[in-house]
Amino acid sequence: MASTETGTEEAGGGSAPAAAEEAVALEKAAGERDLSGLEAGLDALETVTVGRAPVGQLLLKKVLPPLSAIALVLVVWQLASWGKVADPTKLPSPSAVGQALSDRWNSGDLLTIIWTSVERGLLGFLAALVIGTPLGLLVARVSFVRAAIGPILSGLQSLPSVAWVPAAVIWLGINDSSMYAVILLGAVPSIANGLVSGIDQVPPLYLRAGRTIGATGLRGAWYILLPAALPGYVAGLKQGWAFSWRSLMAAELIASSPDLGVGLGRYLENMREGSDMAGVFLGILLILFVGIAIDQIIFSPLERWVLRTRGLSARSQ
């Protein structure tokens, strides 16, 4: 009887450590499951959800706010006109500007005026793109070139484009060449600096990986640098277009010749010379509208696409 109790106690003493080890193992497994669940949750939080919003939601978020702002400006403008805040010859009413737009449309030259400036602006921007892209690559990758002309590019970017108009007219005459020269001097520094900024933010690991697979020189620039620097490059293009448009308007305002035709800048100056404030306001609004339209049609979708494909923006497009 005594030997049986002793055997039972020994058997119980042998199973207790095993049970304790099993309990520890179960607790450890439960802890690992909790950590894995926590990591999965963090990964889910960091995951960028990319998807297109419904058309109704897109209109509500993208179209309604600017339309509301425009409506508010028109209301304030019309109230100021009714309240005679300023002389009507200095502050025309929205209806007077609308009448000027209708008259210009009926005269049949409105689209010609707009296209004259848009064509010059886009051609000048494309030329600036061709020059600014290799220049930005050189400045970003060649230290001597960067030290030599990097500060000059930054200085040129801050120089008002209108300062180049007298020089361009003297050098090239009052013709399209001087218009394009002013556009280039305004847009090339922005495009080059945008690319330099984008390349500066490329992780060195990408460059080492590129060299490992043989992507050096032009192949490295095409397959590694430009794709990796695309967000900064596109931002530079967007800014370059803004500088192109501003430069062109400054050149058209100052330079006048029958050979140049009538663009938006020349139309604005013609209205000023005729003291037609409704026409002046119409010219300003058309310049603003075209600049915004080109940005919204070309550059903003391109920028959103680049950011979305890199997971840098979670906004639904």
- CB within 8 A of 259, min separation 6: which ones? 174, 175
| Token representation of residue 205 | 């690991």
**CA 156 – CA 163 distance, rounded (Å):** 11
What's the CA dihedral at 165, 168, 173, 179 to 10 degrees? Answer: -70
Please count the CA atoms within 13 angstroms of the CA of 75 that sit on its side-chain side: 6
Alpha-carbon dihedral sign for residues 101, 102, 103, 107: positive
* Cα separation values, 27 from 19, 32, 34, 103, Å: 12, 9, 11, 83
pLDDT in tens, 226-248: 888 888 899 889 989 999 999 99
pLDDT at 138: 92
**CA 265 – CA 254 distance, rounded (Å):** 8
The pair phi, psi for residue 121, each rounded to 5°, is: -65, -45
pLDDT at 1: 44
pLDDT at 99: 92
pLDDT at 16: 57
| Closest C-alpha among 74, 120, 123, 129 to residue 240 | 129
User: What are the 10-residue block averages of pLDDT along the chain, 317 residues in total?
Assistant: 45 55 65 54 52 71 83 88 80 90 91 93 94 92 90 87 88 89 92 91 84 80 86 89 91 84 91 91 93 89 85 57
**CA 138 – CA 71 distance, rounded (Å):** 47
| Closest C-alpha among 184, 219, 187, 199 to residue 146 | 199
pLDDT at 24: 64
**CA 49 – CA 168 distance, rounded (Å):** 50
pLDDT at 10: 46
| Closest C-alpha among 182, 185, 183, 199 to residue 145 | 199
Q: What 8-state DSSP symbol labels residue 297?
A: I
* Cα separation values, 14 from 5, 11, 18, 21, 35, Å: 14, 5, 7, 12, 33
pLDDT at 311: 74
How open is the CA angle 33-37-43, to the nearest 5 degrees?
A: 145
pLDDT at 44: 52
**CA 128 – CA 192 distance, rounded (Å):** 9
The DSSP H or E segment spanning 80 is: helix 64-82
